[in-house]
Structure 1
């Protein structure tokens, strides 16, 4: 299967679609009785008040989520290929993205994190274009606005602001206007939100938006480790990918090296940003899937021993299915 997705063959579109729904057999087999979907953060519902809790049945919720994952995988695949992140263009980024979004049951339903992954993929594309433009102030401003919109949907998305400065350090020589442009773009979204609150005589509620920033970091976590055994094969593949990347690091283009450094920091920031949400859910870690999928795809794109990487991927998929059903 890996060898098939190493090629840019149109038939892979059909195979990817079938694979997307195959990875969700477990949740279709045993549909939840009820699924809630909050499209926006509570503070943004004054702008758009959309109640989807009762509008979608569980089956419709999961079907739409699966369709969105498939679309995201195709967009993500195009971004990865356009920026030459792998040895050669392929469908592996899309395959790994779909696999990553199938690790846990909560990943398979509509959630704010799933919606913001559209913006996260867009951000990856924007970040990787920074070193290709002579004047990137407009691009950085756009990035700030994208993060602002993402924050309206899912508050922890705000943590992506850190990546603006990391990306500028990696890709650009210092220009204070570029550093300010990202913050101005982000604040522009919340300036208009504040104006809207003011027009509705509700400006006091606007200040409540920022209360999670003062939350204390939780000292105790309740974790059922059996739920996360599926991450063992993921960890093995990531270790193999890291060794492969280390071996090829200084033989890669400088832009590719910097891209992987940025994606590494994005993975860390996305995972750690759960701190910004007092009551986070497992689906929060969908934000880690795009940068993580690039690393997984990198290994399977560069692996040499066919029987080994094909068996490794099959075992990976079977372990995911096993833990989903069990």
Structure 2
């Protein structure tokens, strides 16, 4: 399925495909060659990455009981939604960061039951810092640690500082590396995007986003379904969807931390959004209706990828 969703690229590949894998400030100590990948190889590697992510994502939502019954529905939904737009189909920093985001989802959902929250929170801070080395807006995910604590545990100031400490540990070593290489001024420039105001104007070609119509429809139906069953669900399930909702919001709004906005940023919204879509399809009762909606979603995506 991951390769099928990229059929438009395989039939009509571009002659050249420029892409970034990590942030410029990370290239000082980590150089990853990208020019040797042809467009077909790029898209194929991206398909493999999405397939692996889908399996990991499927395992997480099954382990936490976020769908009606275990299966591979979550993986299928993840692969389809990860193919909404052409920029989603190639290797990009947010695509790589989704490995870390799925890992964070698992950690945040375990937080309420953990006997060692300090270690888990410290590890989460380090994971977010590693993600920020790949794609700077990922650093905004640090807010999710505190939001998860608010929803999962009583206040404990030691727990609230563990996430930032883990984050600062990675960037402390990065600062030392910059200092050794007489580039400490460049290290300070890493944080300049945080001073940006939220973009007031987006240049949008609305015809490129028609493929979102069936996604929005499914999200609305899923929200109605979740609302009907919300108070009948286990506390853990309710808390999980609250955390995932805020993860989606934070991922969406973190676009302000990237001066040069690109549509592939919204790949960070896919893991949290896919949970709600999988929840709908696993709980829907009218078979012909939800199968028809899924078919419409698949065909709509394929149509707009080709045109």
Shorter-normalised TM range: over 0.9
1:141 aligns with 2:126: no
| Counterpart among 13, 17, 29 of residue 35 in structure 1 | 17
Residue 56 of structure 2 is matched in structure 1 by 75
CA drift of 1:43 comes to 0.8
| Counterpart among 133, 138, 157 of residue 176 in structure 1 | 157
For structure 2, which runs of at least 5 residues remain unmatched after alignment?
Answer: none
Residue 284 of structure 1 is matched in structure 2 by 265
CA distance in 1, matches of 2:127, 2:19: 22
| Counterpart among 6, 21, 24 of residue 3 in structure 2 | 21
1:70-92 C-alpha deviation (Å, 9 max, x unpaired): 00000000011011111111211
Residue 222 of structure 1 is matched in structure 2 by 203
CA drift of 1:124 comes to 0.3
CA distance in 2, matches of 1:175, 1:131: 13
Question: What is the CA RMSD across the aligned residues, in angstroms?
Answer: 0.8
| Counterpart among 110, 117, 128 of residue 129 in structure 1 | 110
CA distance in 2, matches of 1:313, 1:109: 23
| Counterpart among 94, 102, 110 of residue 91 in structure 2 | 110
CA distance in 1, matches of 2:292, 2:186: 55
Residue 3 of structure 1 is matched in structure 2 by none
CA distance in 2, matches of 1:132, 1:220: 43
CA drift of 1:46 comes to 1.2
1:46 aligns with 2:28: yes
Does the CA contact (< 8 Å) of 2:123 and 2:163 recur in 1?
yes
Q: How does 1:242-321 map to 2 (within 5 A)?
A: 242-321=223-302
CA distance in 2, matches of 1:254, 1:269: 23
Decide which moves more: 31-40 or 169-178.
31-40
CA distance in 2, matches of 1:93, 1:310: 15
The runs of 4+ residues in structure 1 deviating greater than 2 Å are none
CA distance in 2, matches of 1:319, 1:205: 45
Does the CA contact (< 8 Å) of 2:218 and 2:280 recur in 1?
yes
Does the CA contact (< 8 Å) of 1:38 and 1:51 recur in 2?
no
Does the CA contact (< 8 Å) of 2:9 and 2:40 recur in 1?
no
CA drift of 1:134 comes to 2.0
1:105-130 C-alpha deviation (Å, 9 max, x unpaired): 00000000000000000000111110
CA distance in 1, matches of 2:211, 2:292: 16
**3-state secondary structure, aligned to 1:84:** coil
CA distance in 2, matches of 1:259, 1:268: 14
Q: How does 1:201-212 map to 2 (within 5 A)?
A: 201-212=182-193
CA drift of 1:28 comes to 1.1
| Counterpart among 63, 66, 72 of residue 91 in structure 1 | 72
Residue 55 of structure 1 is matched in structure 2 by 36
1:46-74 C-alpha deviation (Å, 9 max, x unpaired): 1202231x110001000000000000000
Residue 16 of structure 1 is matched in structure 2 by none
